[in-house]
Amino acid sequence: MKSSELFDLELNKIEHYIKFPAMRPFVGSKYGDSQNKKIMLIGESNYLPPNSTINKSASLWYKSKQSDLTKDEIQWLHCRNLLMCDWKSAGHMLYRELELRMSEYIDSSKTKAMSNVIFMNAFQRPAPQTGNSISRFCGEADFKVGAETIDQVIKITNPDLVIFVSKLAWDKLGRRLSKESTARKIDFTCHPGTGGRYWHKREYQHGVDKFRKLISSHY
């Protein structure tokens, strides 16, 4: 599975991606195929290695650029490479689960179902604690940059359906999006990595069953 460069001319003009080009969204090679609706999935945040410090402070992070990172740090936040790897590690459960659910509606016999979507993370600063949610650390700068970046990606790639696969990201950023963004079909689910606590809990209204309904309505 490879990421398309179809929108890179415009994506490369987004301020945050000028600073951190590795964070540009993954664009599936089949995104926009005439027989399929265009779907954009928005996760929560990246992580950096446990010994990283540049992401501890929001003010420091947003004043920084990719050249301030180590090679290892760049790989940890490289959105496209993460989607194109084998997803065997525990930290890649999100991608495995999304692929499994998307493949219920899209033929994945020749290429992964995720080849049909755009994927990006909502927060443009990696969570300060590796493996933990950014929920206890995010603030106004994160909300501002996150919403602005999402708005710009939506405008450039023009998806028919946008799904935040993180309730935190939706609660903090969804209502900050522009009227142009929210004029299209946009919704949210909980994080697929929450497993039996939320994602697979039938009584919970924002879990996997909601995701299925949203995807099935476009296929």
Per-residue pLDDT of the chain (219 residues; tens, 9 = 90+): 899 999 999 999 999 999 999 999 999 999 988 677 899 999 999 999 999 999 999 999 999 999 999 999 999 999 999 989 887 776 778 899 999 999 999 888 888 999 999 999 999 999 998 878 898 899 999 999 999 999 999 999 999 999 999 999 999 999 899 999 998 999 999 999 888 889 999 999 999 999 999 999 887
Q: List pLDDT tens digits, range 151-203.
A: 999 999 999 999 999 999 999 999 899 999 998 999 999 999 888 889 999 99
Contacts of 153 (CB under 8 A, 6+ apart): 11, 14, 25, 40, 118, 120
CA atoms within 13 A on the CB side of 8: 11
Q: How far apart are CA 153 and CA 16, in angstroms?
A: 11
CA distance 99 to 28: 12
Amino acid at 151: D
- C-alpha span between 40 and 135 (Å, rounded): 22
pTM of the model: 0.95
Tokens of 170: 């939706």
Extract the tokens encoding 132: 């933990």
Determine the Cα angle at 104 with ends 99 and 108, to 5°. 60
101/210 Cα distance (integer angstroms): 11
Are the beta carbons of 97 and 199 closer than 8 angstroms? Answer: yes
Is CATH 1.10.10 what the domain over 8-216 is classified as, yes or no?
no
